[in-house]
Every structure is written in structure tokens, then in C-alpha cells.
Chains A and B, each alone.
Chain A
Amino acid sequence: MLGKGGKRKFDEHEDGLEGKVVSPTDGPSKVSYTLQRQTIFNISLMKLYNHRPLTEPSLQKTVLINNMLRRIQEELKQEGSLRPMFVAASQPADPLSDSFHEAQPAFSHLASPPLLPTDFVSTMPLESCLTPASLLEDDTFCTSLAVQHDGPTKPPPPALQPVKDSFSSALDEIEELCPAPTSAEAVAAESAADDSKAQPSESNIHKPEGLPESRTAESKLMDPLPGNFEITASTGFLTDLTLDDILFADIDTSMYDFDPCTSATGAASKMAPVSADELLKTLAPYSSQPVTPNQPFKMDLTELDHIMEVLVGS
């Protein structure tokens, strides 16, 4: 359907925001994918904080939101590691969805040990007798068993390691330059240079350099955003991480004010069909610049440019 150029772009963005992975080969779609991802990221963070404080939040919901955040985090990090290899936009391949694909197996690798704790089982005579449920209440029982065996319960997934290493070394450099929020700047650095395009084949070559890097820098990003699934007297999440200090310092919630769907209490009676569109309208002004709708990221852009030059140079 022919219409004003602006309107067509509008429809494109509407498709882009809701659910589907948009092929980021052309400029506007890629931006909308990034906007979509950022929006979902922000929504997810707000959800973790907005549960009813009186009763325990649903663990299933928490786990699903957490997985969403991790996936987006991982994607952002992989984009960060791809950045030195960016070239102009004429790639037939689909780098962002590739990284999205890659994020999944990386986490499924992490996910599998908890489900099959064969090491966990074999050190105790659990094979031969039933475990009374009463013993499960005692968390020290579980953790002491985990300490007992020699084999790694959670072997660091090799697929993840190389990706993190180049990035973590970059983070180390960033940390030296400015001691404060390293991860936020890294995220912002990725977003800042987002207008350059990735080259997937080179990123694959880039990855297998498996250096046994220390976990200090990468742990700050890799450690889950909600630090703790055990419910404590407080909300229980986001206990002691540097990341949440940045992310929660100043969340731009202006995009949520207009939309009845976004009330903190939960379900709206009717889904406003324009919510996605309106979100994009408010975000549109940002699309012309590096996609950093959040305040804390803006302040260090010049410093980030310097850092990126350092990274590209090395």
C-alpha cells in the first residue's frame, strides 16, 4: 500500500517492535530491532522491581524475565566483541540474529548442569535410597554436597569464554581509565557504535582465541542481573552488583507514562493497539543518534570514543 514515506516506515517499525526478529540489514529495521531490544530490556528490569512485596514473587516469572535479560545482555556483549570488525552495511547475512542464535546455545550450555546434577547425585548414596523431603529444606545440605566433588559442577562453557575474553580485556582497559561503571559504558559503547555493521564471518574467526581470562571484569557483566533467587527479607534481587547501580540510577520512564498498559499494578483491561507505535514515536528522536535513551550512558560518550579508538587500535 502506497502512502507517505513516513507512514510506511512507521508500519515497518510496528512490525519490528512486536515480537519478531527484524532483519537488521537495512538501517531503519536494525535500529528498530535495537529499540525493541532496549525496550524489552527496560520493561524486564522494571518487572523485577515491581512485584508485590507482600508475597513471594513467582519463581517461574522471575526466571523467565531473568533469562530474557541475560539473552539481551549476551547479545549486547557479543555485539561489543564484534565491533572492531564492523564494516559497511552490505552484508547478506544476519549478524544480529546470528548473535541472538549464538546467545541461546551459550545459555543452554549453562542451563544443562543444573538439570542433570549427576555429579551431585553420585557422591551420595542417593541412588539407593529416597531422600526425605525434610532434608531438602536445609540449604547447607545442598551446598556442602556441591563442595564435596572434584569434578566441576559448572564447567565454564568454552563457547562463552573466548567471546568474553576479548571483551573483558577491553573492560579492564576501560576500568583503568575510569574506575566507575565499566559495564554501563561498555553497553553504551556498543550502542554508540551501533550504526556500524557487523561482519559475521570475521566474528567467528575472532572468537576461538581462548585465553583463560580472569573473571573479574567479565563477572561484573556475566553475573546475573538479579543476583539472588533466594528470597531474603528485602526484595531479594539485585543484591550486590555494580551493574544495578548504574541501571537503576536513572531509568528513563517517560515512555511509559502515556500508556495504560504499563501501569505497575499489572494487566490493563484493554491493550492499547498503539502502545508499540507510541513507544516508537517517543524513541524516534533518538534513532538519529547513537541509541542511548538512558541518561547515565550519555555522559561518557567522548570518553567512549576514545576507548573505542584504543580498542580498534589494539
Chain B
Amino acid sequence: FLGAGGGNDIQWCFSQVKGAVDDDVAEADIISTVEFNHSGELLATGDKGGRVVIFQQEQENKTQPHSRGEYNVYSTFQSHEPEFDYLKSLEIEEKINKIRWLPQKNAAQFLLSTNDKTIKLWKISERDKRPEGYNLKEEDGRYRDPTTVTTLRVPVFRPMDLMVEASPRRIFANAHTYHINSISINSDYETYLSADDLRINLWHLEITDRSFNIVDIKPANMEELTEVITAAEFHPNSCSTFVYSSSKGTIRLCDMRASALCDRHSKLFEEPEDPSNRSFFSEIISSISDVKFSHSGRYMMTRDYLSVKIWDLNMENRPVETYQVHEYLRSKLCSLYENDCIFDKFECCWNGSDRQVGFLPLCTSDYSLIVMTGSYNNFFRMFDRNTKRDITLEASRENNKPRTVLKPRKVCASGKRKKDEISVDSLDFNKKILHTAWHPKENIIAVATTNNLYIFQDKMN
């Protein structure tokens, strides 16, 4: 079992599953992003139909002290609509590419959601009272006949059923020629960046009619384009530092204090290619699909097609750790290229930042100890940096009872298949887990299959 040291291995149990049961997946229901807010109380998902669904964790139930609160639907709204680009005669998809929560400052919650072209700031607020007793209006809003008004009264607030409202507060549009792949909120909580294939822009949360370009890798002659930006993120503590990854497997760290246009990187992280693994597909599988800083900012994690790599920001020439997610696919790359699976963009995430997770931090004040990422056949993987152990689990409705520990899975690469193992050739490549999220404070994880959201938590004793 996966452990975080001190004999406190995490035992993952099924908790909930959200979404349609039937196998026939409506395209609009395909989940495209999953994100906990900063407290973990809210869990947002975005889908291909442009909708955002927010789940809220129930307050801990005093009668059931051993189970954490369940997540129930809190708010659903249509964030983005499909649009048509008349200039290019092409549709702009409404699919939500990323959601990022802002830290909570008042009673309302704020999040940024983006599709390929436009970022929106949404305010989610609760209303549980309404004014009643107007003098001139009936309760349903109709105006009263003035002649019937004989007394004056002061309207009062009376409780009502909780209503959660989502309203778009800012729309950040027309700044991206190419498809937005990342948004990241700065540690100053005033600015954020948005990255597309060739450019990264810096915004102020209050200002929508202007954004500043901080990275531009578009060549003067587009025919010479050989590399694109695949992900970008601000450093968690340093508000002038950000990184961006590329389709060639490089990560560049930039400092906005160095110059206005950060085309010259401060650091370039790249691992030399292993000649024994050279193939036609080396470049494609080296393309980085996600980059995430550790909680302290000392490390960062990147996901490429077959592996997860942990980098120390002080060492550019190679990662400090590499974890193989599904090495058995290396001999299948040609077929995966043919059916486009090789272009799947898997994300990765760290465990929560609270010390509940582990007792032996690798670096003091950095509790980024466990890495989670998805694979095919609805499998997802976790790697423990301390014990070097890993585990493969499956998100499926079968055999899933609450509080039953998930059974580890194993894929048999070749040769004789042992009992309970699954052979590579039986893997379902349509069932891919691209998006996972870890509660910031507790051992609760959200795992998205194609159109379902699974919530797992550790078994509390």
C-alpha cells in the first residue's frame, strides 16, 4: 500500500460518484477540468458543454464523526457558450479548459473559468433572505392599487430557501489568437496569467480591456513553428516568477522583473534524451501536458505522456525524480499515435498541503509528498516520494461500496498474466482519466472519468 511514512499508509475508499450512469456518454457531459477551492469546501467541475458544476461539502455530521462530509451540488451555471469566429469560419468551443479559484475574501466565492478564447470571473454568492412587506408591491411583484394602501410598514428580511447565484463579474476577451491552455492566479491575488499555444498574457483581475503580453514564441514566419507552449503557472510565493512548459519537453522559468517581455528565460529545465529509448515518437511523448509547483515552490512536477517528473528549481539539467505512469505503453506508441491517444493531455496533482498527510517531509515546510495522475482504463496512479512505493487504483462503479478499501490494480505488460492482472491489450483507451484533484487539507480526492466524478477518501479508523 501507498504510505507517507510513519506507518500511516493511506487506504483509499470509495465515497461518492456523480454523473450519469449509462454508458452512452453525451459529449457535452465530458468533464474537462476539476478543481477544489482553497478551503476544500467547494469542488468545481467544468465540462465540454461549457457548464460549471460546483459541489459543496456538508458540514461534518456530529452523529457520524468518522465520515467526512459528502459533496452535494451547490451551484450549476452555464459559463461559456459556443461562439463562431466569422473571420476564420470556425467554431469556438465552449468547453471549459480550466477553472481556478480565488482565495475567499468575503462571503462570496470567486473563480476564473476559461474556454479556448475567453476568461470569465464568476461570483458565486448565497442568498438566504429576502425582503418582504413592501408598501407598494405585492409579494409577487405586482403593484398594489394605491387606494388600498392605508398603513405604512417597514419591509423586513425574512429567511428563504437557500439560493446560490452565479454571476459573471468580468469577461476577459479578445487577447488570445490561439487556444488558451492555462490560467494561473498570482500570489499577489491581483493579477493572473493566461497562456495559449504561443503567448502568455498578464491580466489584472479588475481590468478587462487590457492585458500585457509577457511571453511570445510566435516566429515571424509561421512555417518555422516547431514548438508550442503547453502549460504555465505562477510560482506559489514569488509573484514575479512563473514557468511555462513546451511541446518539446522543456520548462522555462521566467522572472518578470528581468524585462517586460520574458522571451529570455531565467532557467531552462530539460532532461537530455535517453538514447536507448529513442524512437520516432520521442518528441511527442516528451511533450509536457501539465506543470504544477509544489506547495513551497521549491519543486515542480511535470507530466509527459509516459511519466511524471519532479524537478528541483535549483537544478536545470535533469529532474530529481521520475515516476513511470504506464511504461508498458512504450511498445504501443505507433498504435497510440494512430488513434490519437498519444496526444491525450494528462494532468497531475500534489497531495494537500496540510501536514496531516505525512510526517516526513523531504524538505521542511514542503509537504508535497504524493503525486497523483491518471491513466487509461479508468486507472489512476499515486507515487509516494518518501517510500518510493506506488499504487494503481480504478475509478469504476463496480465493486464500490462506501468505506470499502479500493483494491490495487496491476497491468501485465507481457508474458503470463497473473490472476487479477489486466493485460495491456485489454485496456480500454476510451476510458481515460485526465483530470484529478486533491483536497487542500484532507485526504479526499476527486477523480474524473469521461463523464463521471468520483470522490474517494481515506479510511478513517
Residues of A within 8 A of B (CB): 15, 17-21, 36-37, 39-40, 43, 47, 54-56, 58-61, 63-64, 66-68, 70-72, 97, 100, 107, 110-111, 113-118, 120-121, 126-137, 142-143, 145-146, 153-154, 223-224, 227-233, 261-262, 266-273, 275-276
Contact = CB atoms under 8 A, between A and B. Distances in A.
A110 B220 CA distance: 13
Contacts of A128: 260
Contact of B280 (A15, A19, A107, A133): A19
B281 interface: yes
Contacts of B92: 55
A227 B221 CA distance: 11
B337 A40 contact: yes
B287 A64 contact: yes
A229 B287 contact: no
Contact of B199 (A116, A133, A230, A273): A133
Given A126-B260, A275-B335, A115 B227 contact: yes
Interface in B106-154: 116
Contact of A261 (B264, B280, B335, B425): B335
A230 to B, nearest CB: 6
Given A233-B88, A261-B335, A114 B225 contact: yes
Quick one: which of A54, A135, A229, A262 has the most chain B CB within 10 A? A229
A15 B414 CA distance: 13
Contact of B177 (A137, A153, A276): A137
Contacts of B174: 134, 137
Contacts of A116: 263-264
A18 B332 contact: yes
Nearest to B252: A115
Contacts of B427: 270-271
Given A54-B91, A232-B88, A269 B179 contact: no
A21 B210 contact: no
Interface string B53-95: 0000000000000000000000000000000000011111100
A153 B338 CA distance: 36
Contacts of B216: 117, 131, 136
Contacts of A47: 340
Given A55-B92, A228-B222, A261 B338 contact: yes
A133 B223 contact: no
A37 B219 CA distance: 29
B428 A19 contact: no
B72 to A, nearest CB: 33
A267 B331 contact: no
B288 to A, nearest CB: 11
A261 B339 contact: yes
A56 B228 CA distance: 15
Contact of B341 (A63, A115, A121, A267): A267
Contacts of A224: 223
B338 A275 contact: yes
Given A18-B331, A58-B179, A116-B264, A230 B222 contact: yes
Nearest to B283: A67
Q: Which 8 A-B pairs have the closest CB atoms?
A: A114-B219, A146-B220, A130-B212, A133-B175, A229-B222, A19-B279, A111-B226, A19-B333
B164 interface: no
Contacts of B214: 130
B117 to A, nearest CB: 10
Given A63-B226, A270-B429, A43 B338 contact: yes
B222 A233 contact: no
Given A21-B279, A60-B228, A136 B425 contact: no
Interface in B317-351: 330-341, 343
A146 B338 CA distance: 38
B218 A43 contact: no
Contacts of A266: 339-340
B419 to A, nearest CB: 21
Contacts of A120: 220
A68 B280 contact: yes
B429 A269 contact: yes
A106 B425 CA distance: 37
A216 B198 CA distance: 30
B426 interface: yes
A118 B177 CA distance: 22
Contacts of B47: none
B213 A131 contact: yes
A143 B340 contact: no
B158 interface: no
A134 B210 contact: yes
B233 interface: no
B197 interface: yes
B430 interface: yes
A64 B343 contact: yes
Given A61-B343, A133-B176, 7 more contacts: A19-B331, A59-B197, A117-B263, A127-B261, A268-B430, A270-B425, A271-B339
Contact of B284 (A68, A133, A229): A68
A21 B280 CA distance: 7
B16 interface: no
A266 B338 CA distance: 8
B461 interface: no
Given A68-B280, A113-B219, A116-B264, A136 B199 contact: yes
Given A58-B179, A227-B223, A231-B90, A132 B218 contact: no
Contacts of B219: 113-114, 117, 154
Quick one: which of A15, A70, A117 has the most chain B CB within 10 A? A117
B96 to A, nearest CB: 15
B316 to A, nearest CB: 16
A20 B331 CA distance: 8
Interface string B4-43: 0000000000000000000000000000000000000000
Nearest to A229: B222
B247 A63 contact: yes
Contact of B334 (A39, A56, A267): A39
A266 B178 CA distance: 23
9 contacts: A58-B179, A68-B284, A110-B224, A132-B212, A133-B175, A145-B220, A223-B223, A270-B426, A273-B425
Nearest to A20: B279
B429 A97 contact: no
A267 B210 contact: no
B278 A113 contact: no
A3 B224 CA distance: 49
B396 to A, nearest CB: 16
B341 A56 contact: no
B211 interface: yes
A74 to B, nearest CB: 12
B241 interface: no
A82 B426 CA distance: 44
Contacts of A71: 280, 283
